[in-house]
Amino acid sequence: MGAATGGPGIVHVVDDDASFRSAIERRLKIAGYEVEPYRSAQQLLDHMPDERQVGCILLDVKIPGLNGPDLQERLTELGSTLPIIFLTGHADVPTTVRTIKAGAEDFLTKPISSEELLRAIGKAITRHESSRRLKDKLDGFRELLATLTPREYQVFDLVVQGKINKQIGHQLGATERTIKAHRHRVMEKMKVQTLAELVSIAERLGMVADASDSRSS
């Protein structure tokens, strides 16, 4: 029973079939999950789930009104990171392909065994947890980046492109010694000890990729 305290996650169940919703809710609550049921896609959009709480969406493909794949599209536009597990009464290859290509976590055909359902939900929630951790990390890096002066940012950008102090100094019209001082402050502010760590942060923030893209274009 310990799993329910704090909860291993919230499952947002979107299905117009009330008896199916309550059956799923019972199964998931026994497994220790919190459940938020919705009759329609619109109801979920009107009460957008809190992204900070680990969870996933269990979504029927053929709900009336805005259907499952359309809701998936709308949630992507809104920047939702909650993994979506689709449910369907009968396997439909084009819909499966469309939803998986658009990032769906899984596609399950009713009736679903508890084992299959819990395995899919466990996997989806683990993925949401790791994507949230990554997002928190990136937000932290962006906050550190915002503390750099415009000149420190230029130095950071050139350092992670693989330029040495002499080249950076030449490009920015500064002495090597000045660049060295800037570089030291960049490392301090970004809370790293090595160039490798700095490059790793820049890659995660898309700075290195941007640099190579601009060179190749």
Please state, for a pLDDT cut of 70, what percent of the chain lies above it. 93
Note the pTM of the prediction, 2 decimals.
Answer: 0.66
pLDDT digits (tens, 9 = 90+) for 45-97: 999 998 888 999 999 988 888 889 999 999 999 988 899 999 988 777 788 88
The predicted-structure confidence for 167-177, as pLDDT tens digits, reads as follows 999 999 999 99
55: enclosing H helix or E strand: strand 55-60
Q: How many angstroms separate the Cα of 92 from the Cα of each of 83, 109, 119?
A: 20, 10, 22
pLDDT in tens, 202-211: 998 988 754 4
* Nearest-10 Cα torsion for 36, 39, 41, 45: -50
Averaged confidence pLDDT in the chain:
88
pLDDT recorded at residue 44: 95
The pLDDT value recorded for residue 162 is: 93
CA–CA distances in Å: residue 116 to residues 127, 128, 211: 17, 19, 45
Structural domains in the chain, sorted by start: 2-138 (3.40.50.2300), 147-216 (1.10.10.10)
Report the C-alpha gap between 81 and 111 in whole angstroms: 27
